[in-house]
């Protein structure tokens, strides 16, 4: 862990062979998956959620993001369903068989999904100790916590220390902002109220949204998408300057910045210029189709996270 986050002398006497499970909304690039798997001696698993497109189920990861966006633009209704407790129970059993003597499960915000509760139910009847952590966020912010946990486990940290360190990191060293191109999908999924959506559309208001204690909240309301992007950039740069040593992750719905379009690339370019000047890392990521089902095509997000 960078700076030995969360390490408290004497707390790790029970540290053993830790396993880690995340749900599929926790964003990890291919190189990060390899890093986590290496740190944990392959005691790592991802439990997928399900995306339904006009009631046809797709396991998260099987449906290309661009295909989902095109279907939604053509009027398809997208929704999601959480993993069943048995899905987590199977992953727990697999990691226990691989030698894990304690398993930590990191989930997306429990305020946004029942995934956390499914994990808790599975862990309550497991044959090995299971600790379930609500990230109170999702995507790249939760991914940073997963990296932190894996690194700490490789250093012999116990579950209590890892949980405390991850909670501190998520609370103090991450910020998630996003701008949907329309409020329609957030309204349909119940993430914002119908009245707020109708007013926003009637007045051509575009919000900058964030996550506070796991709940979607409005950080700003402006009159155009480009102004919303500019506000998101400004707030992201402020967060990055406050952190110092950090990584900025630009997220899009469509699967790549090329497919996402000119406005998304402009967000990336503005952040890249500042990152180069300040020495921050800047990477690009793709929103899980589970998230896209709620924020819709054309959404752009920015996560600022401490390097883990």
Q: Is residue 62 part of a domain?
A: no
The verdict on 211 and 155 lying in the same domain is: no
What ranges make up the beta strands (E) of the chain?
18-23, 44-47, 50-53, 56-59, 78-81, 102-107, 130-134, 174-179, 206-212, 215-222, 246-252, 281-286, 300-306
What is the pLDDT, as a whole number, of residue 8?
46
- How many CB atoms lie under 10 A from the CB of residue 62? 11
Number of domains in the chain: 2
Q: Is residue 268 part of a domain?
A: yes
CATH number assigned to the domain comprising residue 261 = 3.30.1180.10
What is the pLDDT, as a whole number, of residue 5?
55
Helices 225-243, 262-278: crossing angle, 10 deg rounding: 20
What is the pLDDT, as a whole number, of residue 206?
85
Tokens 């009027």 sit on residue? 75
- Return averaged pLDDT per consecutive 10 residues of the chain, 308 residues in all: 46 72 98 97 98 97 94 94 98 98 98 97 98 98 98 96 98 96 67 43 73 90 93 98 98 93 96 98 95 93 95
Q: Where is the domain boundary, 107, 142, 171?
A: 171
Counting every residue written for the chain, the total comes to 308
**235 lies in which domain range?**
174-306
The verdict on 192 and 160 lying in the same domain is: no
Q: Where is the domain boundary, 140, 171, 202?
A: 171
Q: Is residue 76 part of a domain?
A: no
The verdict on 114 and 225 lying in the same domain is: no
Q: Is residue 70 part of a domain?
A: no
Q: Where is the domain boundary, 171, 198, 223?
A: 171
Say if pTM beats, i.e. exceeds, 0.95: no
Positive or negative, the CA dihedral 124, 27, 161, 157 is: positive
The verdict on 188 and 39 lying in the same domain is: no
Tokens 């029942």 sit on residue? 114
223-229 CB contacts, 8 Å cutoff, 24+ apart: 225/179, 225/181, 225/263, 226/263, 226/266, 228/179, 229/179, 229/263, 229/266, 229/267, 229/300
């Amino acid at each position: 862990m960078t700076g030995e986050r969360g390490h408290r002398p004497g707390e790790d006497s029970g540290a053993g062979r830790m396993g880690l499970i995340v749900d599929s909304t926790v964003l990890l690039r291919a190189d990060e998956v390899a890093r986590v798997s290496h740190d944990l001696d392959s005691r790592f698993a991802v439990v997928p959620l399900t995306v339904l497109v006009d009631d046809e189920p797709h396991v998260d990861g099987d449906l290309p993001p661009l295909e989902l966006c095109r279907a939604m633009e053509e009027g398809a209704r997208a929704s999601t369903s959480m993993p069943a407790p048995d899905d987590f129970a199977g992953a727990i059993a697999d990691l226990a068989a691989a030698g894990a003597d304690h398993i930590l499960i990191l989930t997306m915000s429990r305020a946004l999904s029942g995934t956390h509760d499914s994990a808790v139910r599975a862990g309550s009847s497991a044959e090995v100790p299971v600790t379930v952590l609500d990230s109170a966020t999702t995507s790249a912010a939760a991914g940073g916590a997963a990296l932190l946990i894996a690194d700490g486990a490789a250093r012999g940290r116990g579950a209590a220390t890892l949980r405390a360190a991850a909670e501190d990191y998520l609370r103090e060293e991450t910020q998630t902002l996003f701008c949907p191109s329309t409020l329609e999908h957030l309204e349909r999924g119940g993430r914002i109220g119908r009245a707020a959506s109708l007013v926003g559309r009637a007045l051509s208001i575009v919000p900058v949204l964030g996550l506070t204690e796991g709940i979607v909240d409005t950080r700003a309301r402006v009159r155009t998408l480009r102004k919303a992007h500019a506000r998101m950039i400004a707030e992201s740069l402020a967060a990055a300057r406050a952190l110092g040593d950090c990584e900025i992750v630009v997220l899009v719905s469509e699967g790549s910045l090329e497919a996402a379009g000119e406005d998304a690339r402009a967000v990336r370019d503005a952040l890249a210029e500042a990152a180069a000047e300040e020495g921050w890392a800047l990477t690009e990521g793709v929103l899980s189709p589970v998230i896209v089902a709620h924020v819709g095509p054309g959404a752009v997000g920015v996560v600022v996270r401490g390097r883990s």
